Structure 1
Amino acid sequence: MVRFPMLTRYIICSFALLSITLGCKVDTGGEGDYAFVGGEIINPKNKNVILYNTEGKVIDSLTLDLNNRFVYKIKNLEPGLYSFTHGGEYQLILLEPKDSVMFRLNTYDFDESLVFTGVGARKNNYLIETYLANEREESKLMKYAKMEPEAFNEFIEERRLRELTKFHNFLSDKPESELFKSIIEANINYYSYARKEIYPFAYFGNNKLIHIKDLPEDFYDYRSTVDYNAAHLAHLYSYNRFLFFYIDNLAAHAYYENNPFHSKFDRHRMDYNKSKLDLIDSIISDETIKNSLLKYKTRDYVSHNHTEADADEMLNYFLSKSTSEEDKASMKELVSSLKLLRQGNTIPDLAIINYDNSEQNLNSIIERPSIIYFWSSNSKLQYRNSHYKVKSLKYEFPNVDFVSINLNSNDDKSWKSIINNYDFPKDKEYKFKYPKKARKVLAVNYLNKAIIVNEYGMILHPNVNIFKSDFTEMLGDLLQKKHLIAKQ
Structure 2
Amino acid sequence: MITRYVALTSVLLSLIFGCKVNNGDTGDYAYIGGEIVNPKNKSIVLYNAKGDVVDSLTLDVNNRFLHKITNLKPGLYSITHGGEYQMILLEPKDSVMFRLNTYDFDESLVFTGDGAKKNNYLIKTYLSNESEAKKLVKYSKMEPEAFNEFIEKRRQDQLDEFQRFLDVNEESEFFKSIIEANINYNNYADKEIYPFAYFGNNKLIHIKDLPENFYAYRSDVDFNINHLSRFFAYNRFLFHYIDNIATHSYYKNHPFHSKFDRHSMDYNKSKLDLVDSIISDETIKNNLLKYKTRDFVSHNHTEAEADEILGYYLTKSTNEEDKKYMQELVSSLKLLRQGNPLPDLAIINYNNTEHYLNSVIEKPTIIYFWSSNSKMQYRNSHYKVRELKSEFPEVDFISINLNKNDDSTWKAIIDNYDFPRENEYKFKDPNKARKTLAVNYLNKAIIVDADAIILHPNVNIYKSDFTDTLGELLQKKHLIAKQ
TM-score range, shorter chain: over 0.9
How far apart in 1 are the matches of 2:190 and 2:284?
20
How far apart in 2 are the matches of 1:313 and 1:422?
45
Q: Select which of 319, 323, 328 maps to 1:324.
A: 319
Give the match for residue 46 of structure 2: 51
Q: Does 2:196 match 1:201?
A: yes
Identity %: 75
Structure 2 SS opposite 1:198:
helix
Structure 2 SS opposite 1:474:
helix
Structure 1 SS opposite 2:399:
strand
Give the match for residue 275 of structure 1: 270
Shift of 1:458: 0.5
Structure 2 SS opposite 1:347:
coil
Contact 2:346-2:355 at 8 Å conserved across structures: yes
Give the match for residue 32 of structure 1: 27
Shift of 1:43: 0.6
Structure 2 SS opposite 1:244:
helix
Q: How many residues align?
A: 483
Q: Does 2:239 match 1:241?
A: no
How far apart in 2 are the matches of 1:228 and 1:111?
28
Q: Does 2:6 match 1:11?
A: yes
Structure 2 SS opposite 1:219:
coil
Structure 2 SS opposite 1:202:
helix
Structure 1 SS opposite 2:404:
coil
Structure 1 SS opposite 2:73:
coil
Shift of 1:253: 1.6
How far apart in 2 are the matches of 1:126 and 1:285?
31
Shift of 1:337: 1.1
Query: Aligned ranges for residues 82-481 of structure 1 at < 5 Å?
Result: 82-481=77-476
Q: Which runs of 5+ in 1 are unaligned?
A: 1-5
How far apart in 2 are the matches of 1:96 and 1:309?
49
Q: Deviations over 1:53-98 (max 9, x none)?
A: 1111111111111111111111111101111111111111000000
* Pair 1:25–1:457, CA change in 2 (3 A): farther
How far apart in 2 are the matches of 1:28 and 1:363?
62
- Partner amino acid, structure 2, of 1:457: A
* Pair 1:232–1:370, CA change in 2 (3 A): same
Shift of 1:231: 1.2
Q: Which runs of 5+ in 2 are unaligned?
A: none
Shift of 1:420: 1.5
* Pair 1:125–1:483, CA change in 2 (3 A): same
Shift of 1:396: 1.4
Contact 1:163-1:188 at 8 Å conserved across structures: yes
Structure 1 SS opposite 2:435:
helix
Structure 2 SS opposite 1:66:
coil
Shift of 1:20: 3.9
Contact 2:6-2:110 at 8 Å conserved across structures: no
Shift of 1:319: 1.1
- Partner amino acid, structure 2, of 1:216: P
Structure 2 SS opposite 1:118:
strand
Structure 1 SS opposite 2:222:
coil
Shift of 1:23: 6.0
Structure 2 SS opposite 1:98:
coil
Structure 1 SS opposite 2:426:
strand
Contact 2:82-2:405 at 8 Å conserved across structures: no
Shift of 1:38: 1.3
Structure 2 SS opposite 1:235:
coil
Structure 2 SS opposite 1:388:
helix
Structure 1 SS opposite 2:100:
strand
How far apart in 2 are the matches of 1:410 and 1:93?
24
Structure 2 SS opposite 1:467:
coil
- Partner amino acid, structure 2, of 1:418: I
Structure 2 SS opposite 1:93:
strand
- Partner amino acid, structure 1, of 2:92: P
Structure 2 SS opposite 1:482:
helix
Give the match for residue 3 of structure 1: none
* Pair 1:469–1:95, CA change in 2 (3 A): same
How far apart in 2 are the matches of 1:261 and 1:389?
39
Contact 1:31-1:75 at 8 Å conserved across structures: no
How far apart in 2 are the matches of 1:88 and 1:424?
22
TM-score normalised by length of structure 1: 0.96
Shift of 1:29: 5.5
* Pair 1:24–1:169, CA change in 2 (3 A): closer
Moved more, 69-78 or 18-27: 18-27
Q: Deviations over 1:11-37 (max 9, x none)?
A: 222123323444676796677311111
Structure 1 SS opposite 2:405:
coil
Structure 2 SS opposite 1:386:
helix
Structure 2 SS opposite 1:176:
coil
Structure 1 SS opposite 2:111:
strand
- Partner amino acid, structure 1, of 2:32: V
Structure 2 SS opposite 1:41:
strand
How far apart in 2 are the matches of 1:308 and 1:357?
38
How far apart in 1 are the matches of 2:237 and 2:23?
40
How far apart in 2 are the matches of 1:376 and 1:251?
33
Aligned CA-pair RMSD: 1.5
Structure 1 SS opposite 2:471:
helix
Moved more, 116-125 or 337-346: 337-346
